[in-house]
Structure 1
């Protein structure tokens, strides 16, 4: 937490410490990173696109439970776009897949 406070103001550091999953950026800097469960786990990423890819990879690698409000978004990225565990689709994502293929 000490490093976060040095880089960010107190309110931003407190906000990041309460986040389950978040991609953060620092204006006027190339600092883009990922916060999981309130901890900065990846820093110094060049851009948001790379951060999104890393986040999906991290979530898959550590079998992270997705937040309920983003569950289907992550499932589409992981299972349809990246084709990881694509045989185990939820009914909602399977319906989307069928609509895309027709």
Structure 2
């Protein structure tokens, strides 16, 4: 948790400079379409906020989805959900989804400092941006 806290401000600064889409946001969706999106999710964290909530308000719910199934809910914040997701990945011996490989590489090797000696070019580039 402390490592996530340590890097969160710098990560937000780096991501805010990107021109492309960094994350998928579901806005003004019906409950049915949100449930359909969850069923299509291989591995992820979801955050539910009230429509009128501002950025400083706590989310209504934070949870984890594995293979289209909500496996944990009521986690309170994204940092705890991230830590729990990493724990689930290791305890269930899951492989990272191909489309999220760089995200999980950064989480594992830069944030958690596990096996951090060998980084892909993309992860090394982000690490350089974080530490400058």
What TM-score comes out, normalization by structure 1 length?
A: 0.68
In structure 1, list runs of 5 or more residues that go unmatched.
1-7
Deviation at 1:84, TM superposition (A): 2.9
Q: Which residue of 1 aligns with 2:68?
A: 38
Q: Which moved more, 1:44-53 or 1:56-65?
A: 56-65
Task: Considering fraction of residues, name the structure with more strand.
Answer: 1
Deviation at 1:94, TM superposition (A): 8.1
1:19 to 16, 19, 41: 41
| Equivalent residue pairs, number | 94
Task: Considering fraction of residues, name the structure with more helix.
Answer: 1
Decide whether the 8 Å contact of 2:102 with 2:123 is kept in 1: no
In structure 2, list runs of 5 or more residues that go unmatched.
1-29, 51-58
What TM-score comes out, normalization by structure 2 length?
A: 0.55
CA RMSD of superposed structures (Å): 3.0
Q: Which residue of 1 aligns with 2:104?
A: 74
- Aligned mates of 1:98, 1:13 — CA distance in 2: 35
Change over 3 Å in CA distance of 1:93–1:33 after alignment to 2: same
- Aligned mates of 2:40, 2:85 — CA distance in 1: 17
Decide whether the 8 Å contact of 1:75 with 1:93 is kept in 2: no
